[in-house]
Amino acid sequence: MPSLLLLNGPNLNLLGTREPGVYGSDTLADVVALVESTAAERGFTVTSLQSNHEGVLIDAVHEARGAASGIVINPGGLTHTSVALRDALTGVALPFAEVHISDVHARESFRHHSYLSDVADVVVIGEGVPGYARAVRELTEAIGRA
């Protein structure tokens, strides 16, 4: 069965309690459950990882090569800073979806630039936690066309 890797970056372990006015009340466990159920409807399994450490996320991307069909990633603050994460994602040549719960373009100016958006197969911004489901649907469609 094809699989997806779900990666959530720094501070996303605080979902449900961190700035609920920005991120809502859903927890990381809710995100994982939504991604797993959406992926299962499309015939995919999911392996998930959250880390506050850039290198751990990069290692997971490297390990996905040959093991996953695609990656769904919310890189958190690394979106705006990590060339290394971008290089890992392009280096493994797996299709990936970039997800952001909040509308990063309506927030502070430093959040407006993403090092990933221009190389992502799917970008979902500002749809809250339900945006993860759309990312899974669109990514699995893109994988099916590959």
CA dist., res. 8 & res. 131, Å (int): 14
CA dist., res. 16 & res. 39, Å (int): 23
Q: Nearest 5 degrees, angle CA 7-CA 14-CA 73?
A: 15
- Grade residue 146 by pLDDT with cuts at 50, 70 and 90: low
Q: Which residues are catalytic?
A: 23, 100
Whether 39 and 4 have beta carbons less than 8 Å apart is answered as yes
Closest CA to 95 of 50, 140, 58, 129: 140
CA dist., res. 106 & res. 43, Å (int): 35
Q: Which of 6-20, 26-40, 83-97 has the lowest mean pLDDT?
A: 6-20
Q: Phi and psi at residue 48, in whole multiples of 5°?
A: -125, 150
Q: Please write the tens of the pLDDT for every residue from 86-145.
A: 999 999 999 999 999 988 776 667 666 898 999 999 999 999 999 999 999 999 999 996
- Say what the pTM is: 0.92
Whether 77 and 107 have beta carbons less than 8 Å apart is answered as no
* Encoded tokens for 142: 């893109």
Q: What is the mean pLDDT of the chain?
A: 93
> Residue 59, Cβ neighbours under 10 Å: how many?
14
Q: 3-state class of 82 per DSSP? A: coil
* Encoded tokens for 63: 């390990």
- Give the percent of the chain with pLDDT over 70: 95
Type of residue numbered 16 = G
Count Cα atoms within 13 angstroms, Cβ side, for 29: 2
